[in-house]
Structure 1
Amino acid sequence: MSRFFNKKTLIYTAYWILVTGFFLYEKKYLLYKANMPYFLACVSVRVILLMVIAYLNLHIFLPKYLIKKRYGSYAASILLSVMAYLVIQSLYDWYLYGYIVGPLYRSNMYESLYYNFFSTLWYLGLMLSLKLSIDWYSQQLLIQRITVEKLNAEVDFLRAQVNPHFLFNILNNLYALTLKKSEQAPDVVLKLSSMMEYMLYDSNDDKVLLDKELEYLQNYVALERLRFGNEAVITFNIANVPSGLTIAPLLLLPLVENAFKHGLSRQTANSELNIDIAFNDGVLTVKVENTRPLAPAEPLKGGIGLSNLRKRLALLYRGKHDLQLKDEPGRFSALLIIEL
């Protein structure tokens, strides 16, 4: 914003330089008819008076009357300031042309008043338009900054919701293994430790390497495989994904997590989960398909993961993604397409 205010000062300075330059050009004949002091005095008086009126309008009349919708008071203030300008400028012109330079164009009072009135309104309107344009632009910058901050805050909030949700599921898995006194429990702890490191350090960045995100997802699926054993058929395929690509962290987890929580975890036998991830022509395609009970014994709880996923996609990949969810009897599928 400080850069903008510097630019704002430069714009106003450039405006008054142009106005002064115009009057210098317009009054250059005074160099021949009078002398340099009268030439400079004529231009200085006009520019200073215009600056005074502009200051009164922009810093007093505008915020005190116009913004508060006191249009009558604003119009009266402008009229009084213009009349004061006309009296001072016209008297000076009458003196200059009547006694110093001699009879020239606009040498009588009526012509001087007429010229000064409309020229003053012109410059005042131009300055007001410039002021309103700059204020509108600064307001747009402020709105944009607030919007970005709001989006960032919402993304952080959504990310904070994802982490506890994931931990809740994994700790339940680990608890089940420890009850069975499984020899696989230490391996679960190591994988969970690796995943926690990713969540604590890498997932706080706006973007992470897609390789790390997929490794995180593979660890998650490996942990779930340990829990389900031979009770479920789980396939995980990754094809044509080059290294060096980046993606928003923890963006793919809700699709897989939802498949386990609302699909395999609720089906006692013949459960399946297929995960296919591919990258072609700058587009990442993630397809997750799982079986689910035909008639759930109880209403599904949660739904935080997919709801948050939709919001994050809307914030981070607006116009560059497509999420399709298909709920069929005994089967649920999700297709996510993202332009990276």
Structure 2
Amino acid sequence: MQQYRAELTADVTFTTGGRLQAQGLRVDVPQAEVTEADLARILVGSLGLRDVERVELTGVRTFAEPVPAGPPGPPRLRFVELSHVISDGLTTYPGLAAPVISVHQSWEQTSAHYAEGTAFSFDRVEMLGQTGTYLDTPRHRYEGGTDLAGMPLERLADLPAVVVRTAGSGRRAVTEADLEPLTVAGHAVLLHTGGDRGWGTPEYTVDAPYLTGEAAALLVERGAALVGIDSVNIDDAVPGGERPAHTVLLAAGIPIVEHLTGLEDLPPHGARFTAAPPRITAVGTFPVRAYAQVPYYEPHDHTRSAGWQPSGR
């Protein structure tokens, strides 16, 4: 059994003006053939870097090594936040009502009901289901479709994730060609389009990335468990137009998560994805705390698996 590693020289520039240079750095990679773009993402994730503006790689050498004998050590888990923050007055989708967050009873008001020094805050949140990062169930599209309370946890929690990257490609549509080489059965398919860069601005809805209807049909055919996107809509949101991705996916019982963020911090494979809403009847859409767990091994642990590991720290 073999594992794959890459040795490289890296020059990392940060948006804060800082810079990191390293020679002879080694990182674990999932296979012998890995693109420079994926290698850069693996490097950034394995080192836990933030605010990265540019990564330049030179002298890249990929090679195989035998997996050391003995039982594998337990990996550690790094949690990656994939949800936007919900705040009072937030605009998620232009034209839809913003959330209203207020105090139902303050600490001062409740203190009279408890022993001296004991008080609680009761807060009120009024919002549409389509607020922040949210999950669509079949009921969102189809009358009588499965609602939030009816969605099985197997479709929402601890799903193996595959990340489809089109960010930086200069095109809007995620197509069948982007999905063709991937194994998606039973996976959360997360579309990293870079559309979240415009979050909270008028540009967020302008020429936003989307999934084509044909690509959605391919995901249904191949048994995807969930599909998420870091954009304003999984469909090309033309006013009054069709919504083929919603139509096809939700008809097949595949939930959709929209308005994700932070997908650049995930490896192409190996993460576990969760986006579970409350169990509410007769509601088709609700915000979620979407996140991923990424396994890695400590530098001194020589046991490896083909994945996202900080072996070069």
Normalization by structure 2: what TM-score? 0.25
Select the structure with the greater relative contact order (CA < 8 A; seq sep ≥ 6).
2
Select the structure that is richer in helix. Answer: 1
Structure of larger gyration radius: 1
Select the structure that is richer in strand. Answer: 2
